[in-house]
Amino acid sequence: MRPEYDIRGGVRGKYYERYQKGTNVVLLEPDVAAVFRDSESVNRALRVLIDVARSEAQNQDKRT
């Protein structure tokens, strides 16, 4: 490990309990991460997808 990585003051398991309760961390595959480089772009794309899915569901309901 590099000398500038001084972890002597770290606390093991500091966030363990919080993580066990659930997390919203999502790992992107490298090809997806190459396109969506930040949270804003991921959220924007997902909101578009949500809108499309809702619209399609409403159209499906109207057809039946």
Give the pLDDT confidence score for residue 50 in this predicted structure: 98
Residue at 14 is within a domain: no
46 or 8: which leads in pLDDT: 46
Residue at 11 is within a domain: no
- Which domain, by its residues, includes 43? 24-63
Residue at 55 is within a domain: yes
Give the pLDDT confidence score for residue 37 in this predicted structure: 92
Helix residue ranges, H only, the chain = 16-21, 30-35, 39-63
Residue at 1 is within a domain: no
Give the pLDDT confidence score for residue 7 in this predicted structure: 86
Q: How does residue 20 score in pLDDT terms, banded at 50, 70 and 90?
A: confident
pTM of the model: 0.58
Question: What would the pLDDT profile of 22-57 be if each residue is shown by its tens digit?
Answer: 888 889 999 999 999 999 999 999 999 999 999 999
Into how many domains does the chain fold?
Answer: 1
**Inter-residue contact 12 to 6 (CB < 8 Å):** no
Burial (CB count within 10 angstroms: exposed 0-12, middle 13-18, buried 19+), residue 36: middle
Helix (H, G, I), strand (E, B) or coil at 25: coil
